């Protein structure tokens, strides 16, 4: 559960420019702590004259302890982060996002194995359901109507389960794995954090191994304004997100193959119109800078990556 966002007032930066307000990090861990309180209340309310099954008591105790510890740790971390943010109001890049000077492209990162594991569990569950229902449907004494109904149920269950598993759990993992086979892990290295709004910097693309068949890349720098609003009431309530492209600059880079021992240098200019052109985030609204990299090898293998960039108002920013 998140408390209402606290918005900073405009604080004058050393360069004489007022950066846009940035919200404090949310307090986290409230929901797990509430669940732990409910679990503790249930444990205290168990009657000794009508004892519950030991398995139920053990599961309730374990769930209460896990929720309590997890909620306490998350709340402690979020409160410490909020205190740190208050002390660094003019340096939001230190706390509003886990920026790193070298970032692996999300499209080529291995990522957590949670989704493939869940996909495997769903497939195992489908096979178990199929193995349980198939004998009932195919038994010799089953009527024709039962066979038709059971067969249709098996077909619908298998088709929908496999589609959901592939569409939401396994497709992205498969694409990453296929891209990693060709291009390896590709990272973007920044000269420093943050990148100054209105300035010029050179970032470097670092491939894990040589890709001699890749001779050009299309690099696009974008500034995007995103607004999320809730419309409607009751059951018709829905969230609508609008992304507006505020700035875009594209350049073509030609080279003699992508090499691991020779980082590809990409010059960037961060156009400034006002202080709100920097990276900032409020409740339901934010501005972000993205670097999109696209290329194709001679074998028509496509490399497509997107990186978020920490572009902020600094002492070097001038309107």
- Peptide bond before residue 194 is cis, with ω within 30 degrees of 0: yes
Place of tokens 């930066």: 13
DSSP-derived 3-state class of residue 47:
coil
Q: Report d(CA 59, CA 307) in Å as an integer.
A: 43
Which one has a higher pLDDT value, 206 or 167? 206
Place of tokens 């957590």: 112
Cβ–Cβ < 8 Å for 15, 39: no
Asked whether residue 49 carries a pLDDT value surpassing 60, the answer given is no
Q: What is the pLDDT of residue 46?
A: 59
Tokens representing 110? 């291995």
Asked whether residue 263 carries a pLDDT value surpassing 70, the answer given is yes
Tokens representing 127? 């096979």
- CATH topology for 184-312? Immunoglobulin-like (2.60.40)
Q: Report d(CA 246, CA 80) in Å as an integer.
A: 35
- Structural domain boundaries in the chain: 30-94, 114-183, 184-312
Which one has a higher pLDDT value, 69 or 319? 69
103 pLDDT band, cuts 50/70/90, is: confident
Cβ–Cβ < 8 Å for 297, 213: yes
Asked whether residue 7 carries a pLDDT value surpassing 60, the answer given is no
Q: What is the pLDDT of residue 6?
A: 35
Tokens representing 32? 């797990």
Asked whether residue 287 carries a pLDDT value surpassing 60, the answer given is yes
Residue 156: which residues within 8 A CB-CB, separation 6 or more? none
List the single range of 47-51, 95-99, 158-162 with lowest mean pLDDT: 47-51
Burial of 314 (0-12, 13-18, 19+ CB in 10 A): buried
Asked whether residue 315 carries a pLDDT value surpassing 90, the answer given is no
Q: What is the pLDDT of residue 250?
A: 92
Q: What is the pLDDT of residue 223?
A: 92
- What single string gives the DSSP state of each residue in 49-66? SSPPPHHHHHHHHHHHHH
Q: What is the pLDDT of residue 54?
A: 59
Residue 283: which residues within 8 A CB-CB, separation 6 or more? 4, 5, 7, 23
Q: What is the pLDDT of residues 210-247, one digit of tens each?
A: 888 888 889 999 999 999 888 877 777 788 888 899 88
- What single string gives the DSSP state of each residue in 98-110? ---SEEE-TTT--
Q: What is the pLDDT of residue 309?
A: 92
List the single range of 4-13, 100-109, 179-188, 276-285 with lowest mean pLDDT: 4-13
Q: Report d(CA 266, CA 309) in Å as an integer.
A: 13
90 conformational bin, left if phi > 0, alpha if psi -120 to 50, beta if neither:
alpha
55 pLDDT band, cuts 50/70/90, is: low
Q: State the first-to-last Cα distance of the chain, in angstroms, to the nearest integer.
A: 39
């Amino acid at each position: 559960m998140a408390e209402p966002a606290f918005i900073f007032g405009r604080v004058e930066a050393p360069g004489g420019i007022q950066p846009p307000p940035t919200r404090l990090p949310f307090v986290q861990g409230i929901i797990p702590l509430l669940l732990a309180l409910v679990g503790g209340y249930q444990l205290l309310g168990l009657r000794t004259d009508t004892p519950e099954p030991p398995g139920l008591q053990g599961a309730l105790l374990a769930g209460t302890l896990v929720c309590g510890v997890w909620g306490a740790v998350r709340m402690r971390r979020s409160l410490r982060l909020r205190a740190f943010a208050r002390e660094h109001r003019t340096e939001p890049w230190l706390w509003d996002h886990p920026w790193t000077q070298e970032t692996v492209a999300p499209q080529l990162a291995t990522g957590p194995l949670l989704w493939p594991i869940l996909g495997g569990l769903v497939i195992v569950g489908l096979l178990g359901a199929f193995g349980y229902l198939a004998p009932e449907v195919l038994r010799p004494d089953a009527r024709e109507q039962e066979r038709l109904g059971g067969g249709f149920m098996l077909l619908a269950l298998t088709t929908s389960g496999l589609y959901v598993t592939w569409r939401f759990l396994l497709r992205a993992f498969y694409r990453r794995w296929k891209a990693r086979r060709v291009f390896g892990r590709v990272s973007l290295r920044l000269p420093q954090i943050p990148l100054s709004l209105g300035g010029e910097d050179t970032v470097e693309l670092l491939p894990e191994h040589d890709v001699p068949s890749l001779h050009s890349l299309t690099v696009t720098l974008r500034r995007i304004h995103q607004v999320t609003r809730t419309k409607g009431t009751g059951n018709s309530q829905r969230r609508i997100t609008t992304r507006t492209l505020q700035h875009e600059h594209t350049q073509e880079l030609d080279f003699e193959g992508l090499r691991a021992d020779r980082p590809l240098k990409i010059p960037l200019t961060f156009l400034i119109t006002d202080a709100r052109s920097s990276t900032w985030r409020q409740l339901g609204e934010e501005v972000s800078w993205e670097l999109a990299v696209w290329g194709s090898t001679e074998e028509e293998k496509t490399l497509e990556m997107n990186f978020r960039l920490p572009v902020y108002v600094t002492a070097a920013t001038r309107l």
